[in-house]
Chains A and B, each alone.
Chain A
Amino acid sequence: MRRVAVSGIGVVCPGAIGWEAFLQALAAGQAGGGALRVPEFTLEDCHESTHPFRRVAGVTRFALAAMGLAVRDAGFRAEAFGGERAGIVATITHGAVNYSVDFHRVLLREGPQAASPLHFAESVPNALAGNGAIALQVRGPVHTLIGEEPVGTQAIDLGAGLLRAGLIDRVLVVGAEEWCAVVTHAYGQFDAAARRGREPAEEPPLSEGAAALVLEMEEAVMRRGVRPHAVLPGWDLGRCLGGGMVGAAADVVRGACQASRQSVAEADHVLPSTGRHRREATQGFLTARGEGAGPLAWIDLAPLVGNPAGASNLLQVAAAAALTSAGRVSGLGLVLSTGASRTLSAVVVSRAGAAGA
């Protein structure tokens, strides 16, 4: 099967703005300073659209910045990226929840006449994808997928499907999330109820950020004279239906490697999940890999970025692609992602031009 390449990367996260800064922070082992929030930044520094996105939700700002950075990184001028042959697939878990909360709070306290139309319009889940289409004049398919952390792999799958079907030539997959006190409180309540007196599970805390990847077919990137950061030769998605999460994770890892026509033993670096059930997923990977394989590097993003839910999976893939591009890793990478409902995914990341499918 023809391979999908990552030709552009854009990252906006608590530790850094831009993928080079992200890698520096990662190399320095720098935690986001305990911060779960994206630092202040100027949106106009990240994208070239003339449209003023002044009052968009935080999650949309992150996504617009990440998309702008990714498009620039892929060697496109902003006005040249869009058109009918371009698409966007966005992913969220919670979306513009702060605007939803603001809208509803005003509705409760002051009544319907005071509720802001802007807060409603910008809290609709596809607002960030719609604004992205406006910013980049993308006129092809523009989708928003909602799901747990592994939803990023769904976006890659959908985007790759559109590319392989010849419906579009390039697609931005973008995951974004914003931190919200109400959501964090609710998750805390769930976790407390689930523990019932047991030790805390040490789940990475909810955070915020965005990651965008420009995906094209590998040969198309080469024809443009651009060197892809990495290729995504295969991936797999799954859901644990009972039985063990470890076994389900092992199956998904094997599925991703099989789709890539690679052996699990060839993986030399792994990005563990930032979501719930991450320990089981790690165990599943080790089970699938078996004994006797070579040394392995673990690149855990959780200490740096926490868990930006719907953005986390694409942030992991962005990190793996950036590390591959920068030559910090040389072999096959595996990105693991898991969600609270025992959904899971694995994505294989490897060097462009390297052997594979």
Chain B
Amino acid sequence: MRRRVAITGMGIVTSHGIGQAVNWMKTVAGESGIRPITLFDTAGYRAKQAGQLVELPAASWSRCRPGRMDRASTLLYHAMAEALGEAGATAADRDPAPVVALGTTLGGMGSGQRYHEAYVRKGPARARPSLVVDHLAHCQPLALMREFSLAGTPRVFSNACAAGANALGYGFRAVRDGLADLAICGGYDALCEFAFAGFHALQALTTECCRPFDRDRSGLALGEGAGVMVLEAWDRAARRGVRIRGEILGCGESSDAFHMTRPGPDGAGAALAVQLALKDAGISPQAVDYVNAHGTGTPFNDRSEAAALGLALGPRAREVPVSSIKSMLGHLLGGAGAVEAILTARALEEQWLPPNLNYETPDPDCDLRIVRRAEQARDLTVALSNSFGFGGANATLVLRAVGRGEP
């Protein structure tokens, strides 16, 4: 049984702010959310900036102790509250145990870092265990499920930067294949010094601005945020009368099997994910109207992704508009796939293409039609959202606008 999968709720938190409205407005305006870091001291680092959410309001925890919750849980809380609120999926509407799948790279690493700092500086006995209550990556989803009265067991994907897309893909398949009527899926990661230092050590951070696909690109900017989608069997959503925001048509997943931190230079692994996603969706490359690229802004990644699009889409790769939102928000790691899928869904809904900020000089190795400034689109029907991560983890989602190109 293959059912249509409706998006009935979306929640998003990034350095642009909390909620879809502000995020869409600033994204389409081409506003950068990358700014000097205030969460930790950047002395000693070459890069000093990231997509940090400067004012993160406290979550209204009722079933968890606020002082013990990691920043990652707070980000996720706001995204989930918005998504569930929009879907109108009150406890009474929900399945007894909806699928809950979330992706993250480092979970509550900020908490683990604080515990370990006390362990090292003050000694093991003086490191307070309350600091690590929300450290492990499964703790945030469990806390959110308690908070929002969601039964069942969360699936926590940690496929590096593809994790959010993998979680959405898991929920999509569960609903499409009739294993669940409702799935609450997404991804998140919070900015912390551990992650920043790691990407600094890998020399992956840019010291200027993030300019994906530009010839002079010099690296990525980190970011933070969370994105949550409520996915629902189309007929069920229609019966409930809830507003359907978009549709997921397909998902493709693959592995490069090449290197832990570098993508396969020929793009073959990522191309396979795109091809499998198109096959899963039952559409041809010609039907793709927009690609929301992974586009990290590192020399290797963008070249590999351009090659992958060339392999998977053929001549269409040179025509289809492509942009990377990471130019504005930074790389949200486990949150990237979900946040970018949400903004792709908004692009389909609003019929606007988000810009690829800071793109000035074309790179002959990235022969793509990059969207320099936000463009109003006509008949924007099908879009791809790419997520390619460490360890060669690749995932592509296919999304469709409501009321366009439907069977």
List A contacts of B154 (CB < 8 A): 147
Interface string of B325-344 (1 = CB under 8 A from A): 00000000000000000000
Given contacts A138-B257, A185-B124, contact A143 B166 (CB under 8 A): yes
* A94 CB contacts on chain B under 8 angstroms: 136
The stretch from A5-13, A27-35, A123-131, A315-323 touching chain B is A123-131
- Over the window 133-158 of chain A, the binary record of Cβ atoms lying under 8 Å from chain B Cβ atoms (1 yes, 0 no) is 11011111111111110110010001
Among A97-105, A218-226, A260-268, the one that faces the other chain is: A97-105
Partner of A82, one of B127, B145, B257: B257
* Cβ contact of A141, chosen from B45, B199, B254, B261, cutoff 8 A: B254
Q: Is the CB of B390 within 8 A of A141?
A: no
- The answer to whether the Cβ of B232 comes within 8 Å of any Cβ in the partner chain is no
Q: Decide if B201 touches A115 in the complex (CB within 8 Å).
A: yes
- Judged by a CB distance under 8 angstroms, whether A50 is at the interface is no
Q: Give residues 279-335 of A contacting B (CB, 8 Å).
A: none
A137 engages B257 (CB within 8 Å): yes
B233 at the interface (CB under 8 A from A): no
Task: Assess the A93–B136 pair: CB atoms within 8 A.
Answer: yes
Asked if A189 lies at the interface with its beta carbon under 8 angstroms from chain B, I say yes
Pair B158/A104 contact, Cβ less than 8 Å = no
The answer to whether B197 and A120 touch across the interface, beta carbons within 8 angstroms, is yes
Bound form: Cα–Cα A144–B106 in Å: 12
A234 to chain B minimum Cβ distance, whole angstroms, is: 14
- For residue A237, which residue of chain B has the nearest CB? B153
Within the complex, which residue of B117, B159, B201, B259 is in contact with A142, where a contact is CB–CB below 8 Å? B159
State A194–B12 Cα separation when bound (angstroms).
36
Interface residue A108 (Cβ < 8 Å from any Cβ of B): yes
- Interface membership of B173, Cβ < 8 A: yes
Report yes or no: A190 in contact with B255, Cβ–Cβ below 8 A.
no
Whether A241 lies near B151 (C-beta < 8 A) is: yes
Please, which residue of chain A has its CB at the minimum distance from the CB of B389?
Answer: A126
The answer, yes or no, to whether A39 is at the interface (CB within 8 Å) is: no
Q: B120 an interface residue at 8 Å Cβ cutoff? A: yes
B160 contacts A by Cβ under 8 Å: yes
Cβ of A193 within 8 Å of any chain B Cβ, yes or no, is yes
Partner of B202, one of A120, A130, A189: A120
Say yes or no: is B157 at the interface (Cβ < 8 Å to chain A).
yes
Most chain B CB inside 10 Å of its own CB: which residue of A113, A120, A150, A161? A120
Residue on B with the closest CB to A130?
B391
Most buried by B among A94, A117, A130, A241: A130
Q: Are B129 and A146 in contact (CB under 8 A)?
A: no
Closest chain A residue to B154, Cβ basis: A147
Q: Is B119 close to A, CB under 8 A? A: yes
Contact A126 B155 (CB under 8 A): no
- Note all chain A residues with C-beta closer than 8 A to B253: 140-143
Q: Once bound together, how far apart are the Cα atoms of A112 and B47, in whole Å?
A: 11
- Verify if B227 is at the interface (C-beta below 8 Å from A): no
Q: Is B24 an interface position by the 8 A CB rule?
A: no
Interfacial residues of chain B within 115-146, with CB under 8 A of chain A in the complex? 115-117, 119-121, 124, 127, 129, 132, 136-139, 142, 145
Contacts of B259 in A (CB 8 A): 134
Whether B170 is near chain A, meaning CB under 8 Å from some CB there, is yes
Interface membership of B156, Cβ < 8 A:
yes
With a cutoff of 8 Å between Cβ atoms, the chain A residues found around residue B136 in the complex are 93-94, 146
> When each residue 204-223 of chain B gets 1 if its CB lies under 8 Å from chain A and 0 otherwise, what string results?
00000000000000000000
Which residue of the partner chain, among A124, A141, A145, A193, contacts B155 with CB atoms under 8 Å? A145
Which B residues are CB-close (under 8 A) to A350?
none
A357 at the interface (CB under 8 A from B): no
Q: Is B177 an interface residue (CB 8 A)?
A: yes
B273 to chain A, nearest CB (A): 9
Report the minimal beta-carbon distance from B349 to chain A, rounded to whole angstroms: 29
- Is B393 touching A140 in the complex (CB atoms < 8 A)? no
Q: Is the CB of A154 within 8 A of B390?
A: no
Q: What's the minimum C-beta distance from B186 to chain A, rounded to whole angstroms?
A: 15
Residues of chain A having any CB pair with chain B under 8 Å: 82, 84, 88, 92-94, 100-101, 103-105, 107-109, 111-113, 115-117, 120-122, 124-127, 129-131, 133-134, 136-148, 150-151, 154, 158, 161, 165, 182, 185-186, 189-190, 193, 237-239, 241, 341, 343, 345
| Subset of 21 A-B contacts with CB under 8 Å | A93-B136, A94-B136, A100-B112, A105-B116, A120-B201, A124-B260, A124-B391, A125-B105, A125-B137, A126-B160, A133-B256, A133-B391, A141-B254, A145-B157, A146-B136, A182-B119, A186-B115, A186-B129, A186-B132, A189-B127, A238-B152
The 5 closest A-B pairs by CB, nearest first: A130-B391, A120-B198, A125-B158, A189-B129, A141-B253
Besides A93-B136, A115-B201, 5 other CB < 8 A contacts? A88-B255, A103-B198, A129-B391, A130-B390, A182-B124
